[in-house]
Structure 1
Amino acid sequence: MAADQALPVDAAPTSGAVPFVATTWQIRLGSGMIPLAHAAGQNLVTVLGLRFMTDSLAISAGTAGLIFALMKIYDGITDPAVGAWSDRAQTRWGRRLPFLFAGGLAMPLGVAMLFGTPDFGSVLLAQAFVTLALVIHATGYTLLTIPGFAMLVESSSDPKERTRLMAWRTYGNAVGTLLGSTLPAWILGMTGPSREGHLLIALITGAIVFGATLVAVRLLRDAPRTQPDPAALARRAHPLRELGRQVRLAWGNVPFRILAIAHVFLLFGTAIGSAALAYFTRVFLELPDSAIGTYFMMATVTMVLAMVPWVWLSNRFGKKASYIAALAMFALVQLSWLLAGPGESMVLVSIRGLVSGAAGGGMILSAYSLLSDAVRYDYVQSGERREGAFAGFTTLFDKLSSAAALAAMGGFLGAMGYVSSSGGGAVAQGDSARLAILLCESAIPALAMLCAIVAMLFYRLDPDTLEALEAKRSAGSRS
């Protein structure tokens, strides 16, 4: 597709498409800036948030994990509501852009509040403050992710172009991961894990999130968009009844159901692995925080470089096969941590980062590309534009699985005797706590990937089937 060619706008009668046109490069770049923004803000909290709460605010591991889990549940519950709201919204800027802008404001505020938590002299007050900060952060994340994914589905009816857009989203996610994990870890390596150092990385990351959001809104303001289905606008059901309708909608889409189950296991494993890494490098490997930054830098570089081969593999062997291969690769690299020990060579840490990044790129690309097909399948089956609702449920499953992962990890660490502190530095941990950290970084994520692979064996929707259904629907519309 030529760089200056506009992406097609669906012309189905129910789409209500408006004749806005943006060039392909604008849509692809804009699609990449959205995940850059939310990945930067999310990775900072995911990688360092739990450890900041236990090692700098003296919040117990079990309580910290529970707070994170409750926020994830809150975040997940609001996802379908935001998705349906954005499906029905009618503004001069379209359905999605106002949500993106609001998310770009809320997420940096939540990050700054979390890592800038004042010294209240009371653990209870600190717990209340970080809970509020995480609520604001989670709300911003939802406002960015739900409309962002829905806009991707709206932008093209071509499955291959949606795969390319997913590649751009993966590029953005990779850069956001770099800016939200590598850069903060390196800064902490220089400043030390003080409260001032954590506030500094929060302010820098918040500025990145807001700036990337502004760029995305500017690039996507003329992207192909669809208007709400008049029937959907006419429905004003009670929120709980509407949520029940959306649950039935998502569960009735068999391809989406299977992908959601696999996605739950994927997110469970990656959430535990990411949160445990900050503990693992400090307590088990006895390495400085800069090691985390180096690991994620290697992972990010490989994630970006691996996009071209993963797109080729997806087109050559199918999205399902590529997804399973990426899951297996990630499981193996996590299991390799069982062979690591104190003073681990940074060469081996870096190699693991490289392989993990390659696997992560394949998982992200394949998972969301398949999910876009499943959402498109709903449209060709029903004729209704419900991208936002499905995007909401996609992230709902993400949040619930992450909530379960963080709650399980916090409870596991607490039960195994992890000692919290307020000094920000390393505290001597017992053998049982060290074993818990090792398992959270290795065996548990690998087992989760295996469960995702088993779920994917039941997935049946392929591009040829979807293309045939689209052709049948188009023929029916013309007749």
Structure 2
Amino acid sequence: MGQKVLLRQAPPLLAAGLVSLLPLYFFLLMGDLAWSLKERAVQEVVKAQLREFSQNPVLLNVLFGALPAMLSLLFGPLVGAWSDRTRTRLGRRIPFLLCGAPLLSGALVGLAYSEALADALLAWFGIAPAFRRETVIACMGVFWALFELLSITSNALFIALVNDTVPKPMLGRFFGLFRIVSLAVGAAFFYVVFGNDLPSVARQVMLAIAGVYLAGFALLCACVREPESPPPSALAAPPGLGRLRAPGGEAPWFYVLLFAALGMATTSLLPVNINSYNAISQFGVDRSSFGHAVALTYCISIVLALPLGWLADRVHPLRVGFAALTLYALCMLGAWLLVVGRTSFLIWFVVHGVLAGAFLTGTAALLPSLLPRARFSELAAFSASVTALLAMVFTLAMGAALDWSGRDFRLMFLAAGLVALAGAGLWYGVLRLFRRADFTSPSQDR
């Protein structure tokens, strides 16, 4: 009833505009459904598959931390700038997404059949069966690298497509819906699938995800139309760090500090995200309980998603991100002191998940709200490169520290807390610059 009254009071053009956006939101969220299944499930399935052959923390942090970071660093800015300058009948993002979807699905098929391929290689080349473990890990590593390369570029371009098509005043709430879909998929996966003998069903799960991803992005690319973009020649920007100058020019280092703060904050979430599954044996947690804890985390985050999106639109993602990151830092330092067994691990793991989710939801519209649309993909890729560089160094150090400590996984909470605290310090500096800079002045490419 309240919604109907609101629409009656709204100007007819505004109401018509909102209604016209519904098909766009629907097809973007259908793409999000396929994207979320890939994001929430694939890494955990591959971790479970890999755990049958190796539990080395260095290998784990290389494959799921340093390797994706290195690929993002090398290829993200190139693809981002290429996409920004592309002009086709289908637009500048959709051609890349359309070509990437079958390749990414193919990489998932390769991951699904890594063991079968390893056995075939052993037979073809006459390699001794004693090397089967190393051969399986090598096959998984190759397909995982291909999957991550395609996933990193597709993720960035999907967010760029959202930024190009969704009105800026609605971005926070749209990303709230975006997160609800993603979290609901994750909750269902961890509650239903994770309690089973996951390695035995890994192949079927990955093949299903490959099919859903291909179908979802085919539908998205067929039904979403990108707005027209100015010619590439109109995108000329100053050289060097001048390309990162904030609107108004009062804070030329604003974007540099912003990308550093965002990189530190994102990196602080990795220790627990990457290592928590391997940590469950130290604290006496079974796989089913771990899956239920993740599902609970996602359910809480679903309830918070739209309020956080509304808050981001209301007070700005920078302020929401600072509050969430500071609270996360304090709680992770507390977890390092208080996690001693099964119950305390599960409690603080849920706290990690909820606060990390609050930060990601509250800042989902951060770069879209601050970066110029005409060069969004290029500058967002620059930001991702800063994050990648930090993540590559930090995850390698995290793996080495866990190995040195005899795999004391309480260290992941300490590392997360310290890096988040450093990130919160940088974030405070960004907020001070933001208050002084003129982000409301009109700009041709914003």
TM-score, normalising length: structure 2: 0.80
Alignment of 1:216 with 2:224, yes or no, is: no
Q: How does 1:3-22 map to 2 (within 5 A)?
A: 5-6=16-17
Identity across aligned pairs (percent)?
Answer: 16
Alignment of 1:272 with 2:271, yes or no, is: yes
Cα 1:43/1:398, change in 2 over 3 Å = farther
Worse overlay, 222-231 or 257-266: 222-231
Which of these residues, 427, 438, 446, is aligned with residue 456 of structure 1?
427
Describe the superposition over 1:226-272 as per-residue Cα deviations: whole angstroms up to 9, x where unpaired.
2442355xx9xxxxxx9x96776347763332221122112212121
Cα 1:4/1:95, change in 2 over 3 Å = farther
Partner SS for 1:368: coil
Which of these residues, 176, 195, 208, is aligned with residue 189 of structure 1?
195
Which of these residues, 62, 68, 92, is aligned with residue 66 of structure 1?
62
Aligned letter for 1:279?
N
Alignment of 1:128 with 2:138, yes or no, is: yes
Q: How does 1:425-440 map to 2 (within 5 A)?
A: 432-433=406-407, 435=408, 437-440=409-412
Cα 1:362/1:62, change in 2 over 3 Å = closer
Aligned length: 412
Q: How does 1:275-424 map to 2 (within 5 A)?
A: 275-281=274-280, 283-338=281-336, 339-344=338-343, 349=346, 353=350, 355-376=351-372, 385-416=374-405
Cα 1:300/1:4, change in 2 over 3 Å = farther
Partner Cα separation in structure 2 for residue 337 and residue 204 of structure 1: 36
Q: Shift of the alpha carbon at 1:111? A: 3.2
2:172 maps to what in 1?
163
Partner Cα separation in structure 2 for residue 408 and residue 111 of structure 1: 29
Partner Cα separation in structure 2 for residue 405 and residue 138 of structure 1: 18
* 8 Å CA contact 2:339, 2:348 repeated in 1: no
Q: Shift of the alpha carbon at 1:372? A: 1.7
RMSD: 3.4
Gapped runs of 5+ residues in structure 1? 8-21, 236-241, 380-384, 417-431, 475-479
2:105 maps to what in 1?
108
Partner Cα separation in structure 1 for residue 315 and residue 87 of structure 2: 41
Aligned letter for 1:167?
G
* 8 Å CA contact 2:72, 2:152 repeated in 1: yes
Q: Shift of the alpha carbon at 1:33? A: 4.2
Q: Shift of the alpha carbon at 1:438? A: 1.5
* 8 Å CA contact 2:100, 2:154 repeated in 1: yes
Partner Cα separation in structure 1 for residue 377 and residue 364 of structure 2: 14
* 8 Å CA contact 1:83, 1:389 repeated in 2: yes
Cα 1:207/1:315, change in 2 over 3 Å = same
Gapped runs of 5+ residues in structure 2? 1-5, 8-13, 120-128, 247-251
* 8 Å CA contact 1:256, 1:374 repeated in 2: no
Aligned letter for 2:255?
F
Partner Cα separation in structure 2 for residue 361 and residue 224 of structure 1: 31
Cα 1:96/1:257, change in 2 over 3 Å = same
Cα 1:251/1:31, change in 2 over 3 Å = farther
Cα 1:105/1:330, change in 2 over 3 Å = farther
Partner Cα separation in structure 1 for residue 334 and residue 48 of structure 2: 23
2:126 maps to what in 1?
none
1:258 maps to what in 2?
257
1:477 maps to what in 2?
none
Partner Cα separation in structure 2 for residue 387 and residue 295 of structure 1: 36
Q: Shift of the alpha carbon at 1:132? A: 1.7
Alignment of 1:151 with 2:200, yes or no, is: no
Q: Shift of the alpha carbon at 1:464? A: 9.6
Worse overlay, 31-40 or 88-97: 31-40
Aligned letter for 1:272?
P
Describe the superposition over 1:451-471 as per-residue Cα deviations: whole angstroms up to 9, x where unpaired.
12111111233699422x01x
* 8 Å CA contact 2:402, 2:411 repeated in 1: no
Aligned letter for 1:58?
S
Cα 1:78/1:132, change in 2 over 3 Å = same
2:417 maps to what in 1?
446
Cα 1:261/1:5, change in 2 over 3 Å = farther
